[in-house]
Amino acid sequence: MCSSYWNLKNVGFTCPECGALTSDDLQTHFMGVVGSCMNDYAIGQPIPELAGVSVTLGKDGPDDLIGRCLECDAMIDFGARIENGVVVEVWPEFLGPDDPLEQRGL
């Protein structure tokens, strides 16, 4: 059986590192259960693992989502706004020049 992360499929974004318009599948362990890795969701789709949950994920939240830029290969942390078990908004978190290079995907 697979790990306890779940996936948000084909999320479009502007890369904070290179400025490219790109997309990727994002992952998070937030409230996932063993076997959740088989579950792929879209923004706006109810997520059973998050039933009734409203929270903001990101640098200051309980967890975040991760993905990468398909143009420059930078690993990117994403924030997300979840309302009543539905991801309604996702954004790349900016990692500035003082953050460790390994966090910035370099």
Along the 106 residues of the chain, how does pLDDT read in single tens digits? 466 667 899 999 989 889 999 999 998 877 666 666 677 889 999 988 889 999 998 877 778 889 999 999 999 999 999 999 999 999 888 654 455 544 444 3
**Both tokens of residue 93?**
């978190």
What pLDDT is recorded for position 22?
Answer: 92
Tell me what pLDDT residue 78 has.
92
- 85, 6 Cβ separation under 8 angstroms: no
Here the tokens at position 78 are 């994403």
Q: What is the token pair recorded at 54? A: 């409203």
Q: What is the pLDDT of residue 7?
A: 83
pLDDT of residue 89: 92
Q: Is the residue at 103 inside a domain?
A: no
- Flag whether 105 is in a domain: no
Could you give the number of structural domains in the chain?
1
pLDDT value of residue 39 = 79
Report if residue 65 sits inside a domain.
Answer: yes
pLDDT at residue number 48? 87
Domain extent at residue 78: 6-92
Give the H or E element holding residue 83: strand 75-83
Determine, yes or no, domain membership for 71.
Answer: yes
User: The pTM is what?
Assistant: 0.79
Q: Do the domain assignments include residue 1?
A: no
pLDDT at 105: 43
Whether 101 is covered by a domain: the verdict is no
